[in-house]
Amino acid sequence: MSRPVKRSREGSSRGASFRCDRCGKTGTVSSPRGPWHSALLRITCRCGHSFDLLIEQRRLLRRQTRLPGSYRRVSPSVEDGRITIIDVSVGGVGFTCDGRHSLQVGDTLAIEFRRPPGDDSPEQHQVVVRRVDGSEVGVEFIDAVPAIVDERPV
Ligand SMILES: [Zn+2]
């Protein structure tokens, strides 16, 4: 038997609010890994009712644009460059390339970008290119958790 999954309401960047279906009480939980991460949490209300709560905090930051970052492509040829993140959603990001690029739909990249001020470590992801429009590129996350990108171009 699968449990129903509630989606959190869009709360503040510090937490998400929810409402218990059984007793109607509302509560707030904070995202365990910071405002940039989605999380599935098991909530147990004081009334004893428990349910899973999906927190999708990236949505809150959709308008927080112009985050500096970089990308690295390994195949079909090595390419890297500076990017500016202009759009963030649950499943991916959109960015503009600061320089010339040869990215194509279907390319797999590693991207890294700084989170908004107040957040700590850089965001790192494996992504696949879904859209290329001049210098604007849309990519989809293909990693469930942030990937480590510690290789640097020589
Ligand atoms: Zn309750």
Distance 34 CA to ligand 1 centre (A): 26
- The answer to whether 45 and 32 have CB atoms below 8 angstroms apart is no
Distance of alpha carbon 22 from alpha carbon 50, whole angstroms: 9
**Domain positions in the chain:** 5-58, 67-141
Distance 49 CA to ligand 1 centre (A): 5
Distance 26 CA to ligand 1 centre (A): 8
**What top-level class would CATH report for the domain 67-141?**
mainly beta
Please compute the mean of the pLDDT values over residues 66-74 and round it to a whole number.
Answer: 91
Please compute the mean of the pLDDT values over residues 50-55 and round it to a whole number.
Answer: 80
Distance 57 CA to ligand 1 centre (A): 23
Enter the pTM of the model.
Answer: 0.55
pLDDT tens digits for 13-30?
456 678 888 999 888 776
Distance 112 CA to ligand 1 centre (A): 40
Q: Taking every pair of C-alpha atoms in the chain, what is the biggest distance, in angstroms? A: 59
